Chains A and B, each alone.
Chain A
Amino acid sequence: MKTTVGRISETPPPPGPFRPGFWRSPIRGPWLTSVFGLVLLVGIPVLFVTGALSYAAYNPDLGPLNDQTPDKGLLGFYLFDWPTHPYWLYRLTQGIHVTLGVVLVPVLLAKLWSVIPKLFEWLPVRSLAHGLERLSLLLLVGGAIFEFVTGIFNIQLFYIFPGSFYTLHFYGAWVFIAAFSVHVCLKLGRMTRALRSRNLLTELRTDVAHTRPEPPDPDGLVPAAPAAPTMSRRGAVGLVGAGSLALLVVTVGQSIGGRLRSTALLAPHNRNPGSGSNGFQINKTAASVSVTPALVGPAWRLEVHGRGPALVFTRGQLLAMPRHAAALPIACVEGWSTEDQHWNGLRLADLAALAGLSHAGSVLVESVQPPGPYSSAMLRGNQIHDPRALLALRVNGADLSLDHGYPARIIVPANPGVNNTKWVHRLTFRT
């Protein structure tokens, strides 16, 4: 047994990337890897937390209408009643989630580039510990790229992934974060030592001509036969930073809105689909979800259910009731949002009182939209009773357009966009 192990460990590496002389970049080394690692150590937890908050924002515990991952089990352990204060909360958390994800792409690429020799280390498995750790690294790298790719595709409506985005991105995040946590536990010490091994200011003053490889490291990141440098470590960090900055500039405007929206040169929601009162961003047009003008014509009625017989209103009757105003944004899970729009309509709290349930604990909101994802949604008591939560009839001084939910739509502070149901035709209040 001993001799077999001995013989295997003496097996020379096959030619190519397994040989120590193959990887020659003189700037690869623990310090550079740790700089990128440190950025991800801060950035990834922010992505995970804002992602987890987004899940909570859908109020998944109100039932399957709000929950795309009903078999979550313990993974929903942290869920809480999503608040309506501050009203821009979801706009902020989801804007950060998506923009930060996009901005971290070059850092992730650089981190993976910096450790690529480890993929080809020889022997591939030296011990049980080593084998298990490498399996965990597959989950880490696969998980990271899987999460970034599904997220980036989803915000461009490029739905080629195998299944529901919510399911893949949510469970994928847990697989990824499990591997990420173990990686942090095992490498945190090495990262701090590597960061302390060189002075940041000195590195930032070192040009290409004075760039020397780091001293040999046990992980074999530093090349055995370094090539002459063509870029300093300062240059590499700067290049990655420039990449992040470029992505930030062409993306963030879609989450800030106003005059900055048009600066998001390459982002999906970088210009308004129209002008005037209803010219702001649309998540799904009426046509795209088969809502026709006929469905919301003169025959349209709003049904309000609660205690006692159902109440039925025409749009004219609703307009004649006491109306209230609220300035609230639309904020989408895709990270884009609008600046505050001036909505006008009936308070959900008033409608609950009309239905005889002034202390309603939830309301089922149903749309005329043919059944599909988010054609109906549940709202919680705190959302019903916020005075800014409306069944909106008008926006920015005009009637709602068909694409914005005419004849009536929900608008609730800090609510994810898809839960602000459009083309509402039935409200069912429950205790």
Chain B
Amino acid sequence: MTRLARLARWYGANPLHLLVLICSFAVTAYAGVRLFATRPLEVAIWFVGAAILHDLILLPLYSLADLSARSVLRHRGDAVPAVPLINYLRVPAFLSGLLLLVWFPLAFQLSSPYPGATGLSYDIYLGRWLIITAVLFGAFALALALKLRRIHRAARANEEKSPPGNGGKP
């Protein structure tokens, strides 16, 4: 075994991998010293907290919400299996949640300097977000209603065509 191969085996990857990482960490350290120059603990909490808040709180929460919604829909007695109902809930919830995730400081009037600095009021934002949310959910409810009606009609037409006793199931 050559020396290089021994090194690679001990390290766990190609030596190039190590060089690239060291180069990156050097830049990180150079900028990091300056980033952490004032209020280092708080900055560190923000930096690492950002990753934790997303990976261990936000993502599990929305995954759990999605799982719960799916299990509720699955236990509906008369569910129509041909329609993935969940997406009629998922899409408006995702879009509305996303808009709030980005613009919540204005919607909840959390940025106290905003009205004074800009000469604009932040009263409008929560109402607008609620209206957008209502429109999104309303539009998807309407789309689902239309789709369900089409499916029921098709099912009834099928039943009428097929002889009694055959159930009309495909």
**How far does the Cβ of B36 sit from chain A's closest Cβ, in whole Å?**
8
Which of B118-126, B149-157, B158-166 forms contacts with chain A? Answer: B118-126
B117 at the interface (CB under 8 A from A): yes
Residues of the A chain whose Cβ atoms lie less than 8 Å from the Cβ of B37? 71, 167
B43 at the interface (CB under 8 A from A): yes
Which of A35-43, A264-272, A365-373 forms contacts with chain B? Answer: A264-272
Which of A57-65, A149-157, A347-355, A380-388 forms contacts with chain B? Answer: A149-157
Contact of B118 among A74, A167, A231, A273 (CB under 8 A): A273
Q: Mark B125-156, 1 if CB is under 8 A from A, else 0.
A: 10011001000000000000000000000000
Q: Which residue on chain A has the smallest CB distance to residue B17?
A: A129
Instruction: Assess the B114–A185 pair: CB atoms within 8 A.
Output: no
Known: A116-B59, A142-B50, A145-B50. A266 touches B99 (CB 8 A): yes
B72 at the interface (CB under 8 A from A): no
Instruction: Assess the B119–A239 pair: CB atoms within 8 A.
Output: no
**How far does the Cβ of A273 sit from chain B's closest Cβ, in whole Å?**
4
B110 at the interface (CB under 8 A from A): yes
How many angstroms between the C-alpha atoms of A105 and B94 in the bound complex? 12
Instruction: Assess the A153–B105 pair: CB atoms within 8 A.
Output: yes
Contact of A175 among B31, B101, B105 (CB under 8 A): B31
Q: Which A136-195 residues have a C-beta within 8 angstroms of B?
A: 136, 138-139, 141-143, 145-146, 149, 152-153, 156-159, 161-163, 167-168, 171-172, 174-175, 177-179, 181-182, 185-186
Instruction: Assess the B132–A174 pair: CB atoms within 8 A.
Output: no
Residues of the A chain whose Cβ atoms lie less than 8 Å from the Cβ of B45? 162
How many angstroms between the C-alpha atoms of A179 and B27 in the bound complex? 9
How many angstroms between the C-alpha atoms of A75 and B51 in the bound complex? 25
How many angstroms between the C-alpha atoms of A246 and B103 in the bound complex? 12
Q: Which B36-88 residues have a C-beta within 8 angstroms of A?
A: 37-39, 42-43, 45-48, 50-51, 53-55, 59, 70, 84, 86-87
Q: Which residue on chain B has the smallest CB distance to residue A25?
A: B63
B170 at the interface (CB under 8 A from A): no
How many angstroms between the C-alpha atoms of A127 and B106 in the bound complex? 46
Contact of B20 among A139, A149, A186 (CB under 8 A): A186
Known: A116-B59, A153-B105, A178-B24. A269 touches B118 (CB 8 A): yes
Instruction: Assess the A178–B28 pair: CB atoms within 8 A.
Output: yes
B113 at the interface (CB under 8 A from A): yes
Residues of the B chain whose Cβ atoms lie less than 8 Å from the Cβ of A75? 30-31, 34
How many angstroms between the C-alpha atoms of A76 and B54 in the bound complex? 31
Contact of B110 among A130, A158, A177 (CB under 8 A): A158
How many angstroms between the C-alpha atoms of A152 and B91 in the bound complex? 23
Instruction: Assess the B98–A112 pair: CB atoms within 8 A.
Output: no
Instruction: Assess the B34–A72 pair: CB atoms within 8 A.
Output: yes
Contact of A250 among B54, B84, B90, B99 (CB under 8 A): B99
**How far does the Cβ of A92 sit from chain B's closest Cβ, in whole Å?**
22
Size category of the binding interface on chain A: 35 or more
Question: Chain A contact residues: over half helix, strand or loop, or mixed?
Answer: helix
Count chain A CB atoms within 10 A of each CB in B98, B106, B118 and give the residue with the most: B118
A321 at the interface (CB under 8 A from B): no
A215 at the interface (CB under 8 A from B): no
Residues of the B chain whose Cβ atoms lie less than 8 Å from the Cβ of A175? 27-28, 31-32, 35, 47
Contact of A288 among B38, B70, B103, B116 (CB under 8 A): B116
A242 at the interface (CB under 8 A from B): yes
**How far does the Cβ of B19 sit from chain A's closest Cβ, in whole Å?**
10
Instruction: Assess the A142–B21 pair: CB atoms within 8 A.
Output: no
A86 at the interface (CB under 8 A from B): no
Q: Which residue on chain B has the smallest CB distance to residue A127?
A: B12
Residues of the A chain whose Cβ atoms lie less than 8 Å from the Cβ of B27? 174-175, 177-178
Known: A171-B34, A171-B35, A235-B87. A142 touches B43 (CB 8 A): no
How many angstroms between the C-alpha atoms of A242 and B116 in the bound complex? 34
**How far does the Cβ of A169 sit from chain B's closest Cβ, in whole Å?**
10
**How far does the Cβ of A345 sit from chain B's closest Cβ, in whole Å?**
23
Instruction: Assess the A138–B48 pair: CB atoms within 8 A.
Output: yes
Instruction: Assess the B38–A167 pair: CB atoms within 8 A.
Output: yes
How many angstroms between the C-alpha atoms of A159 and B55 in the bound complex? 24
Contact of B120 among A71, A116, A138, A273 (CB under 8 A): A273
Contact of B13 among A116, A129, A149 (CB under 8 A): A129
Residues of the A chain whose Cβ atoms lie less than 8 Å from the Cβ of B132? 250, 265-266
**How far does the Cβ of A182 sit from chain B's closest Cβ, in whole Å?**
4
Residues of the B chain whose Cβ atoms lie less than 8 Å from the Cβ of A281? 118
Q: Which residue on chain B has the smallest CB distance to residue A272?
A: B120
Known: A143-B47, A175-B31, A239-B94. A182 touches B24 (CB 8 A): yes
How many angstroms between the C-alpha atoms of A208 and B84 in the bound complex? 9
4 new A-B contacts, CB < 8 A, other than A126-B12, A266-B102, are: A73-B30, A128-B10, A182-B24, A186-B17
Task: Please list the residues of chain A having a beta carbon within 8 angstroms of any beta carbon in chain B.
Answer: 69, 71-75, 102, 105-106, 109, 112-113, 116, 119, 126-130, 132-133, 136, 138-139, 141-143, 145-146, 149, 152-153, 156-159, 161-163, 167-168, 171-172, 174-175, 177-179, 181-182, 185-186, 208, 230-231, 235, 239, 242-243, 246-247, 250, 265-269, 271, 273-274, 281-285, 287-288, 403
The 4 closest A-B pairs by CB, nearest first: A127-B12, A174-B31, A162-B42, A129-B13
